[in-house]
């Protein structure tokens, strides 16, 4: 039987975790604050600790050193519903074993606790040097999908492994790559990024691996490629799914042998580079189609991170808009609720990037006044959701078609009075229907129809 301390001020969560862990065969104590948790550690030495971040009084992360001093053998599992990247890094840097995002599945908690209790004496704390990435590279959001991204970045950043970041265009894959570098042991080294889709096919190998003098026309001097320039740091290969077949072979060699061959050279040069790759393509489908090597995929996909699309993290919209306004170089006004509602109601196929540009556009149009829906750019025609007609509208359309078909059957479509014949019928039917809804009140009916009372009375008389 292992001892587990749960530190959470929400009674329902404390009760649920106690029931779960007792059923798993553990001895459990629950504390609602850091102060009571420290007292509990005086007589109850836990083997694992489930620690909430936001607690009354002192927060959980600031108390980590004191709790670990009283229970040095305990593995700490941090829990939060309000995390960001800095919170995740602080947790991992403080020696947390795992980082759970609320709301969580109880089965997941059971699995994490089981792992935490395995091989306790041989554990090693993860450390992250430095104070974090610059604000320009900040990932913003407090939604559950983004907190999971923060957790993954915090876990993998200190470990020098390849990372494959996937997700739709504009979801922030480049920011995730920069965050991994900034929170890792190579943060003092260079970070070089390139998009393979943007490189000319004839020069792509020279750009990445360099070339020697005379390798091709125009190669008048030796030139280092991005891999050599990134030595000791990180290289970010965006759009990895666009890599040509011959380049894929050479990238595989870099990953396996940590060496490169400049174009035109018969010698190899060692490189010490962390590779982070990203793509918006389905590499599994590309492997099936024979356009992407399976062995390269598995070498890149050691630690996968998937960036969530904007429509799965709408709770982050206010924070994102505020962040974009903070970085906008120009007059900016306050954000109205109508502006945020308009953003929520639209589709954003370009995700965060498209939203950022829309907010900047609105700031230019508003010229420092409050941001309103009309300040947003018009969405592209092909992204506007098509409004489906209601059943009533469909019925009206069918009735008009039937009326036209009847007129055609009478043989008079060329008489020139088809519109004049239908219009009074439609107007009379519309007026009668609205009057029924307003209990015969002419003033109310006229207002609904967009007519003045005298005009409505005149048309009814006709």
* Helix (H) or strand (E) run with residue 405 in it: helix 391-409
Distances (CA, A) of 291 to 106, 107, 166, 264, 281: 41, 39, 17, 26, 12
For residue 411, what pLDDT is reported?
67
Question: What residues of the chain score a pLDDT lower than 70?
Answer: 1, 119-137, 380-394, 410-416
Residues linked to residue 3 through DSSP beta bridges, in sequence order:
27
pLDDT of residue 390: 57
Q: Who's near 129: CB < 8 A, 6+ residues apart?
A: 185, 187
Question: How many C-beta atoms lie closer than 10 Å to residue 339's C-beta?
Answer: 22
Calculate ∠ Cα 201-207-212, nearest 5°.
Answer: 110
Helices assigned H by DSSP within 327-390: 337-345, 351-366
Per-residue pLDDT at 125: 31
Residue 121's pLDDT is what?
A: 42
Question: Are 149 and 307 contacting, i.e. CB atoms less than 8 angstroms apart?
Answer: yes
What are the Cα distances from residue 223, in Å, to 11, 205, 209, 214, 244? 64, 12, 9, 11, 22
For residue 102, how many other CB atoms are within 10 A of its CB? 16
Question: In this predicted model, what pLDDT tens digit does every residue of 303-327 receive, in sequence order?
Answer: 999 999 998 998 899 989 988 888 8
pLDDT for 415 equals 62
The pLDDT value given to residue 161:
93
**pLDDT confidence of residue 386:** 46
Task: Name the token pair of 20.
Answer: 């779960």
CB 324 within 8 A of CB 190: no
Phi, psi values for residue 320, rounded to 5°: -65, -45
Kindly report the pTM of this predicted structure: 0.62
Report residue 108 as tokens.
Answer: 């997941």
Output the pLDDT for position 129: 32
CA atoms within 13 A on the CB side of 295: 10
Which helix (H) or strand (E) segment holds residue 298: the answer is helix 294-300
Cα separation, 367 vs 278, in Å, equals 37
Q: Per residue in 58-112, pLDDT tens?
A: 888 888 888 888 888 888 999 888 777 888 888 888 888 888 888 888 888 888 8
Residue ranges and CATH numbers for the domains of the chain are 3-122 (3.40.50.2300), 159-306 (3.40.50.300), 310-383 (1.10.8.60), 418-462 (1.10.10)
What was the pLDDT predicted at 136?
41
- pLDDT, residue 175, reads 93
Which residues are CB-contacts of 170 (< 8 A; sequence separation ≥ 6)?
A: 310, 350, 351, 352, 353, 354
Separation CA 256–CA 268 (nearest Å) = 14
- Rounded to whole angstroms, the Cα distance separating 262 from 168 reads 33
């Amino acid at each position: 039987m292992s001892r587990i301390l749960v530190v959470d001020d929400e009674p329902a969560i404390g009760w649920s975790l106690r029931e779960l862990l007792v059923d798993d065969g553990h001895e459990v104590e629950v504390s609602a604050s850091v102060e009571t948790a420290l007292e509990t550690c005086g007589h109850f030495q836990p083997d694992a600790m489930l620690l909430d971040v936001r607690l009354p009084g002192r927060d959980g992360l600031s108390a980590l050193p004191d709790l670990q001093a009283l229970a040095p053998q305990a593995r700490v599992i941090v829990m939060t519903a309000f995390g960001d990247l800095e919170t995740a890094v602080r947790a991992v840097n403080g020696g947390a074993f795992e980082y759970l995002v609320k709301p969580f599945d109880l089965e997941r908690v059971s699995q994490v606790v089981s792992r935490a209790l395995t091989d306790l004496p041989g554990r090693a704390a993860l450390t992250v040097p430095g104070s974090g990435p610059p604000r320009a590279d900040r990932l913003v959001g407090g939604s559950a999908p983004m907190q999971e991204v923060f957790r993954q970045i915090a876990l993998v950043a200190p470990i020098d492994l390849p990372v494959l970041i996937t997700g739709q265009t504009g979801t922030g894959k480049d920011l995730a790559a920069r965050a991994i570098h900034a929170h890792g042991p190579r943060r003092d080294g260079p970070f070089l990024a390139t998009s393979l889709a943007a490189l000319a096919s004839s020069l792509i190998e020279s750009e990445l691996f360099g070339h020697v003098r005379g390798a091709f026309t125009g190669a008048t001097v030796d030139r280092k490629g991005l891999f050599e320039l990134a030595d000791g740091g990180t290289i970010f290969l965006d759009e990895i799914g666009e890599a040509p077949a011959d380049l894929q072979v050479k990238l595989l060699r870099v990953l396996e042998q940590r060496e490169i061959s400049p174009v035109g050279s018969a010698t190899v040069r060692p490189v010490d580079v962390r590779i982070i790759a990203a793509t918006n393509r389905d590499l599994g489908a590309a492997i099936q189609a024979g356009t992407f090597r399976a062995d390269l995929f598995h070498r890149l996909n050691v630690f996968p991170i998937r960036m969530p699309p904007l429509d799965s993290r709408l709770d982050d919209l206010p924070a994102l808009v505020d962040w974009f306004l903070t970085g906008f170089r120009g007059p900016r006004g306050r954000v109205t609720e109508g502006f945020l509602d308009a953003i929520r109601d639209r589709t954003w196929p370009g995700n965060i990037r498209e939203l950022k540009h829309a907010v900047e556009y609105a700031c230019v149009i508003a010229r420092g006044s409050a941001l309103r829906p009309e300040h947003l750019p018009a969405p592209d025609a092909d992204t506007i959701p098509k409004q489906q007609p209601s059943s009533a509208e469909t019925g009206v359309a069918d009735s008009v078609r039937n009326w036209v078909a009847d007129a055609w059957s009478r043989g008079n479509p060329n008489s020139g009075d088809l519109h004049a014949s239908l219009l009074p019928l439609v107007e009379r039917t519309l007026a009668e229907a609205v009057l029924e809804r307003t209990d015969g009140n002419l003033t109310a009916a006229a207002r609904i129809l967009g007519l003045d009372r005298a005009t409505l009375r005149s048309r009814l008389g006709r």
